[in-house]
Amino acid sequence: MNITASMVKELRERTGAGMMECKKALQTTDGDIDLAIENLRKIGLAKADKKASRIAAEGMIAIATNEQADKAVMLEVNSETDFVAKADEFKEFAAKAAGAVLDSDIQDIDGLNNFELDGKTIEQNRQELIAKLGENVSVRRFAKIAVGDVVGSYSHGGKIGVLVGLKGGNDELAKDIAMHIAASKPLALDESGVPAEILKKEREIFVAQAKESGKPDAIIEKMIDGKIKKFISEIILLGQSFVKAPDKTVGKLLTESKAEVLEFSRLEVGEGIEKKPENFADEVMAQIK
């Protein structure tokens, strides 16, 4: 059967595969487009499996909120390069996956992967996206907040996402607090949330520094207590200076606004993933190959 340009175009639009791949698939199936689609999907999944071991440390944080502004989700989806993370197909997949978490009772990544969307599971959509974009894509983690009167969110270029649940306050305050969290990266809401091992490690460092001063033990102990207190204020949300008004703490801002932070979460793309050195030229060449 003669394979026409219009047939190749239709197959390409329906699958997102390359022109030559579409032409070969049609030749193999003697022009049967539906069978060609099935074969391309099989090939795509095989390619996806081969790419699954490659490091995916770039990507984006997708955020989804409900109309009532009392529930929100943010989801980290990773790619190998920032080049692919900016692709419309990648952004659309991330947004749909985040929406799936928002509108369901999904509790973990396994549950999300098995969730059916548009007749396919999220995992099947992910594998097809890998085949289409040519590099590994992974759904890494998500956070959901549905507490308090207002849930605010903030995205910094799609690379940092923050959710915050407030009791009292309003949308503007919630967004301001979320923006502050994105910039200042607090470790915990208050002192009770600071891990004991972190305080122990800092105290050991301060003790070693103070002993070199040669001052009496009583003075040294006061010095250490002062440093620990300052350290805690810098890493907890309520003790930090508010980024938009450094003369007051976040705690004071909340008191003035008659509001309370019940919960917050901050995700940053690639956090904790060992990245490989990459530059823009390498990314472009990777896409060409």
For the stretch 187-226, pLDDT in tens is 999 999 999 999 998 888 888 887 777 777 788 888 888 9
Question: For the residues 242-260, what does the mean pLDDT come to?
Answer: 97
104-163: pLDDT as tens digits:
999 999 999 999 988 899 999 998 898 888 888 999 999 999 999 999 999 999 999 999
52: tokens are 């699954």
How far does CA 118 lie from the centroid of its chain?
23
Beta strand 120-121 with 116-117 is antiparallel
**Terminal CA-CA length for the chain:** 31
CA distance 60 to 65: 16
Q: Residue 280 pLDDT more than 60? A: no
Tokens 């309003």 correspond to 170
Q: In this model, does residue 50 exceed pLDDT 80? A: no
**Concatenated DSSP letters for 225-287?**
HHHHHHHHHHHBGGGSEETTEEEEEHHHHHHHTT-EEEEEEEEETTTT--PPP--HHHHHHHH
Domains of the chain: 5-51 (1.10.8.10), 58-188+263-288 (3.30.479.20)
Instruction: Give which of 91, 205, 84, 64 is closest to 133, Cα–Cα.
Output: 84
Which tokens is 248 given? 């007051």
Higher pLDDT among residues 50 and 234, named by residue: 234
Residue 207's pLDDT is what?
A: 83
Angle between helices 5-15 and 19-28 (to 10 degrees): 110
What pLDDT shows up at residue 147?
Answer: 92
Residues 74-96 pLDDT 10s: 999 999 999 999 999 999 999 99
Tokens 């009392």 belong to which residue?
Answer: 70
272 contact partners, CB below 8 Å, separation of at least 6:
none
CB burial class (10 A; 0-12, 13-18, 19+) of residue 84? buried
Cβ–Cβ < 8 Å for 48, 56: no
| pLDDT at residue 289 in the model | 47
The per-residue b/e assignment along 170-185, b for 16 or more CB within 10 angstroms, e otherwise, is eeebbbbbbbbbbebe
Amino acid, single-letter form, for residue 117? L
Of the pLDDT bands very low, low, confident and very high (cuts 50, 70, 90), residue 67 is confident
Structure tokens at 255: 């008191």
pLDDT at 78: 95
Q: Which helix (H) or strand (E) element contains residue 268?
A: strand 260-268
